[in-house]
């Protein structure tokens, strides 16, 4: 592991700030993502926080402003543990870049997603302690980091609707996978907003502000907005665009990897699928012929809100070049759009077009060393 606690196999896109994602074949090894494989999306250096001196402010439209120490948060509120998936709004951007370049943004493949077991206090409980004014509608988060955007240095921030803030799945998390939150993931406390783009789960949380309006932080008002396909940076009206919040239904093939050669016969294909909001993954379909025919995949860990599921399918592709495709449906009957060109957007957010992987199927069995499928037993998620 490196100094950020990450597996050396991660693809590091930038080191300052640190941005990295795991190899896809390792990512689908378990339903709960090990910390060393969990992707990192940072906008600035990781702040060093003294836990003894740490204070979290709860201010704005509240009856009793709070200033909570880490101890207050741990001991003063019920301790809740839940599984939730974080998914970067830029995940799968690389396939939009294949349509048309998107300068200045991290070219994430399909690994800017991870599923954690989070422990913390319910934000609802903390807000109840502060007493929320009747006119409040939004809850804003601000971090201790110094992030760069648009040539300025600022703390990262964002907001969520009050109705989401008081939902039981929204936490102020201080542990990940049973251990203290690692510095790179927001030590000592981060917001955890399941079902929303990862950016709303603000790290190194310093202040929670209850208000009538959304956050005015740059990362709420300018970044993380979805523009129509024909809008270019020079023509964008940054006051417009869809402010991203809940995620859409999405999926990716993780094994075999793009460009691999697999032996003839049965090919085990595996990946992840996720639904946004409180929706569930309802169906995953895989094609071995570029989308002409489809097979329903077997789901692992489906049926729970807030978390991804893994999936697997055994295909029998013909020898030669083979294009695998995956698409998912959620419990609201939404499905993924086919063509990334139709959802291309100038910042490259929330790509959920059908994901395609091109492999070669050998005429016969491969030597073990050449096959990603033969060299590893089928993944057996621990839960």
Q: Which of 116, 120, 211, 276 binds its own copies (CB under 8 A)?
A: 276
Q: Is 229 an interacting residue with respect to its own copies (CB under 8 A)? A: yes
Minimum Å gap between C-beta 242 and its own copies is 5
Among 262, 299, 325, 350, binds its own copies (CB under 8 A): 350
Q: Is 332 in the site for its own copies (CB under 8 A)?
A: yes
Residue in 27, 145, 285, 286 binding its own copies, rule: CB under 8 A:
285
Question: How large is the greatest C-alpha to C-alpha distance in the chain, in angstroms?
Answer: 72
* Closer of 46 and 160 to its own copies (Cβ): 160
Q: Is residue 294 part of the contact set for its own copies (CB under 8 A)?
A: yes
With contact defined as beta carbons under 8 Å apart, do 115 and 32 qualify? yes
- CA distances, 81 to each of 104, 129, 168, 195 (Å): 37, 20, 11, 16
Does 331 bind its own copies (CB under 8 A)? Our answer is: yes
Query: CB under 8 A: which stretch of 23-31, 36-44, 113-121, 333-341 binds its own copies?
Result: 333-341
> Smallest distance, Å, CB 11 to its own copies?
25
Contact flag: residue 45 with its own copies (CB under 8 A):
no
Q: Which of 307, 336, 355, 371 binds its own copies (CB under 8 A)?
A: 336
| Rounded Cα–Cα distance for residues 93 and 352 (Å) | 9
C-beta neighbour count of 367 within 10 angstroms: 10
Task: Note whether 226 binds its own copies by CB under 8 A.
Answer: yes
Taken in order 165, 147, 18, 274, the sign of the CA dihedral is: positive
Q: Which of 75, 296, 318, 367 lies at the binding interface for its own copies (CB under 8 A)?
A: 296
Nearest approach, Cβ of 344 to its own copies (angstroms)? 12
Choice between 282 and 361, CB closer to its own copies: 282
Question: 343, 357, 366, 373: which one contacts its own copies (CB under 8 A)?
Answer: 343
Q: How does 80-114 read in b/e, with b if 16+ C-beta sit within 10 Å?
A: bebbbbbbbbbbbbbbbbebeebeebbbbbbbbbb
Check residue 65 for interaction with its own copies (CB under 8 A). no
Footprint of its own copies on residues 243-262 (CB under 8 A)? Answer: 244-249
Residues that bind its own copies (rule: CB under 8 A) add up to a total of 35
CA triple 12-18-23, angle to 5 deg: 30
The number of beta carbons lying within 10 Å of the beta carbon of residue 260 is: 18
Q: Which is nearer to its own copies, 30 or 294 (CB)?
A: 294
Residue 341, interface with its own copies (CB under 8 A)?
Answer: no
Both structure tokens of 345 = 């957007």
239 binds its own copies (CB under 8 A): no
162 touches its own copies (CB under 8 A): no
Window contacting its own copies (CB under 8 A); options: 20-28, 200-208, 317-325, 334-342: 334-342
- Residue 170 tokens read as 């929204």
For residue 71, state whether it binds its own copies (rule: CB under 8 A).
Answer: no
Kind of pairing between the strands at 355-361 and 295-296: unpaired
How many beta carbons lie within 10 A of that of residue 208, not counting itself? 26
Binding its own copies (rule: CB under 8 A), the pick from 41, 43, 279, 312 is 279
Identify which range of 42-50, 80-88, 200-208, 239-247 contacts its own copies by CB under 8 A.
239-247
Q: Could you list the residues that contact its own copies (CB under 8 A)?
A: 226, 228-230, 242, 244-249, 276-277, 279, 282-283, 285, 293-294, 296, 329, 331-339, 342-343, 349-350, 352
């Amino acid at each position: 592991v490196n100094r950020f606690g990450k597996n050396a196999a991660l693809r590091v896109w930038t080191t300052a700030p640190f941005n990295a994602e795991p190899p896809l074949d390792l990512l689908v090894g378990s339903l709960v993502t090990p910390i060393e494989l969990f992707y990192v999306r940072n906008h600035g250096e990781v702040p060093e926080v003294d836990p003894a001196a740490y204070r979290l402010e709860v201010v704005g439209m509240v009856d009793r402003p709070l200033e909570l120490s880490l101890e207050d948060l741990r001991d003063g509120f019920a301790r809740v543990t839940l599984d939730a998936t974080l998914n970067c709004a830029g995940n799968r951007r690389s396939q939009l870049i294949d349509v048309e370049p998107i300068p200045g943004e991290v070219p994430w493949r399909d690994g800017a997603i991870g599923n954690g077991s989070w422990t913390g206090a319910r934000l609802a409980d903390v807000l109840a302690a502060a007493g929320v004014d009747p006119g409040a509608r939004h809850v804003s988060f601000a971090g201790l980091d110094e992030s760069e955007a648009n040539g300025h240095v600022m703390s990262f921030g964002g907001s969520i609707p009050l109705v989401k803030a008081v939902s039981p799945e929204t936490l102020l998390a201080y542990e990940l996978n049973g251990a203290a939150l690692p510095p790179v993931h927001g030590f000592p406390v981060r917001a955890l907003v399941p079902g929303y783009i990862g950016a709303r789960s603000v790290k190194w949380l310093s202040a929670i502000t209850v208000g009538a309006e959304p956050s005015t932080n740059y990362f709420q008002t300018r970044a993380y907005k979805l523009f129509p396909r024909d809008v270019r940076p020079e023509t964008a009206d940054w006051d417009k665009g869809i402010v991203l919040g809940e995620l859409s239904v999405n999926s990716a093939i993780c094994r075999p990897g793009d460009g691999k050669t697999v032996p003839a016969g049965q090919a085990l294909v595996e990946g992840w699928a996720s639904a946004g909001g409180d929706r569930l993954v309802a169906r995953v379909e895989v094609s071995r012929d570029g989308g002409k025919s489809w097979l329903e995949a077997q789901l692992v860990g489906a049926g729970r809100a807030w978390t991804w599921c893994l999936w697997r399918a055994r295909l029998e592709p013909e020898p030669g070049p083979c294009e695998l495709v995956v698409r998912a449906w959620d419990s609201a009957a939404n499905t993924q759009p086919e063509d990334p060109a139709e959802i291309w957007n100038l910042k490259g957010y929330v790509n959920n077009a059908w994901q395609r992987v091109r492999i070669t199927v050998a005429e016969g069995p491969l030597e073990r060393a050449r096959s990603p499928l033969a060299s590893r037993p089928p993944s057996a998620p621990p839960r």
